[in-house]
Amino acid sequence: MAVIKLVNDPYYNEDALDNMFHYLASQNDLLNDTSSPANFMGGCNYILYDINSIADQFKYVKRHFHKTDKSQLIHFIISFPSNELKSMNKARGFANFICSKFSCNYQILYAIHHKPNNLHIHFILNTISFTDGSYFYQKNGLPGRLCYETNYYFGREIARYA
């Protein structure tokens, strides 16, 4: 069964985006080896040059709309047992599907961490919309929405909220 976890850290400090993006990249070893098949990052609504430029693009949206206070990001993780997502291509397909649910208005980055018996995907959502500067206010309903979308993607009930 897939487990969905909303990380309950407010991420208020201005270094939150940099710190989170560097954590994800270092876990994937993307700082040194971007071609590794077991490590992958992707997302929507940013230009992928390097991890620093992605963080800068998220921050640019916040500065453009004068919304640099409050939470800088929403971080959630969807983990799978080893028998559920058997290939990185399937994991990427699922991650891109989840990203598509937010991509009309928000920047979102994902990183697939593939560890023995624990494939999990971190998602980082910018809290400010790049289209109109609105704040992402659906955080409380997010776990239910993610369970619904995960179950829909797989065509059966496989997700639960932790």
Mean pLDDT of 2-6: 94
Mean pLDDT of 45-51: 81
Q: Could you report the per-residue pLDDT of 56-102, keeping only the tens digit for each?
A: 999 999 999 999 989 999 999 999 987 787 778 888 999 999 999 99
Task: For the chain, give the mean pLDDT.
Answer: 87
**CATH for 2-161 (3.40.720, 3.30.930, 3.90.25, 3.30.470):** 3.30.930
Q: Could you report the per-residue pLDDT of 111-133, keeping only the tens digit for each?
A: 988 777 778 999 999 999 999 99
Q: Token pair of 59, please?
A: 């921050």
Q: Residue 102 class from Cβ within 10 Å (0-12 exposed, 13-18 middle, 19+ buried)? A: buried
Place of tokens 């997302």: 43
DSSP for the chain reads -EEEEE------STTHHHHHHHHHHHHHTTTT-TT-TTEEEEEESS--S-HHHHHHHHHHHHHHTT--SS--EEEEEEEE-TTT--SHHHHHHHHHHHHHTTTTT--EEEEEEEETTEEEEEEEEESB-TTT--B---GGGHHHHHHHHHHHHHTS--EEE-
Q: Where are the domains of the chain?
A: 2-161
Pick the most confident of 20-34, 39-53, 122-136: 122-136
> How far apart are alpha carbons 139 and 9 in whole angstroms?
12
Q: Token pair of 131, please?
A: 């289209």
Place of tokens 């932790």: 162
Overall pTM surpassing 0.85 (yes/no) = yes
Torsion 42-47-53-54 (CA) sign: negative
